[in-house]
Chains A and B, each alone.
Chain A
């Protein structure tokens, strides 16, 4: 999955990669991989939810309400990670001019936006019992919000360009500009935050977690990973069919 080789066709690895970069070849491959990732997502999800609800102890300070972190933390991780992956595929698409990369970026964006919104939502559900407020202009909350805006901008730009290839390339440039800006936004929000309010809420001073809590979070994170891969593969298959609808192989594939 890592097309970092510099020579386009000579190396067998890159030949293999470019082979699978062709939509007609990738479509059945994604179809074969998809059920596995869905199954793994379900498996890790059940295990993770079991650990986080029945095995992990009640937190001494935060009570039962802390259990939202088993959804919140993986969602936050995924929201940031998916943006990086999206920007990576966007860059690959611009450099190698591969069609599949743009489709992959397009397939990842809604999942990333979903994760960002989920992270904000669960964060405020957690914030209410913990800090007594739904929303704090904390650096992490604010940058997560802006990340959600960046996802929405990407989706909106792609949706409003009819020509698929242009949509891919324009989206790729936006994703790359965004990825350069994400650290700048994060640090500017952080400094802005320390300038404005004192240490009213400190999220970094979390008490050390119990081992089982960590396991629960890890399992849930794996579940979210598998879910993101599975849903991206499902969506990319739909996008491939949609874009290649006029070709013969699609007619054969759907028979």
Chain B
């Protein structure tokens, strides 16, 4: 586990040294969310209805923005090869990197979402459900995204390709994440949605670093 923390700590430190990259994705999230009321109109009832979906889709896109950088710099300067050769398992190191990626690009979205939710006239308890859903869902987005980032490492047109590969795989997270908030607004039980998100997260925590490692080894071979 030490390897996970050490790797996460290193990546967080690097992110702190280059804060603009982190903030860009965050402002992207804010701007995309603010565009929807401008495009659709300011009726509170309509905004309340579309809020969960809009916030979640914006969160997916904002997560996507940071993904190409997940392995690119380490790949370029050869750090990734050293990681693959190091005695600690590459899977754990990858898990550390994904953890750092979530702390940098996922967690701020979770914290910012209630503020944007207020713009959409969401009730306080709906905001709470939104935060819990995002708290379970954004790590899932980082984990699945890491597989795509590893597969497209050093590939022509990597960024757009990454979106093409990863977005269809985000569909279940989007459905249950936005669904939890919608169910709560409609007065239905939302615990099932959150449980399913949690289940998917548990599966992804186990399998995604493993698949990412396999993809990274392929990228390093050639």
Contacts and interface: CB of A to CB of B under 8 A. Distances in A.
Interface of A: 94, 146, 149-150, 152-153, 156-157, 160-163, 165-166, 169-170, 173-174, 176-178, 180-181, 184-185, 188-189, 191-192, 195
B138 interface: no
Contact of B165 (A146, A157, A161, A166): A157
Contact of A178 (B167, B169, B175): B169
Interface residues of B, number: 29
Contacts of A152: 164
Given A153-B168, A157-B155, A195-B182, 4 more contacts: A170-B151, A174-B151, A174-B165, A176-B211
Contacts of A192: 175, 179
B191 interface: no
B218 interface: yes
Contacts of B86: none
Contacts of A173: 147, 151, 211, 214-215, 218
Contact of A153 (B164, B172, B176, B200): B164
B179 to A, nearest CB: 6
Interface string B121-159: 000000000000000000000000001000110011100
A160 B157 contact: yes
A166 B219 contact: yes
A163 B156 CA distance: 12
A195 B183 contact: yes
A87 to B, nearest CB: 13
Contact of B155 (A160, A177, A180): A160
Interface string B180-222: 0011000000000000100010000001000100110011011
B171 interface: yes
Q: Which 8 A-B residue pairs are closest in the complex by CB-CB distance? A: A188-B172, A149-B168, A192-B175, A166-B222, A169-B218, A153-B165, A188-B175, A160-B156
B15 to A, nearest CB: 26
Given A153-B164, A156-B161, A161 B169 contact: no
13 contacts: A94-B214, A157-B152, A166-B222, A169-B218, A170-B215, A173-B215, A174-B151, A174-B165, A180-B207, A185-B168, A188-B175, A195-B179, A195-B182
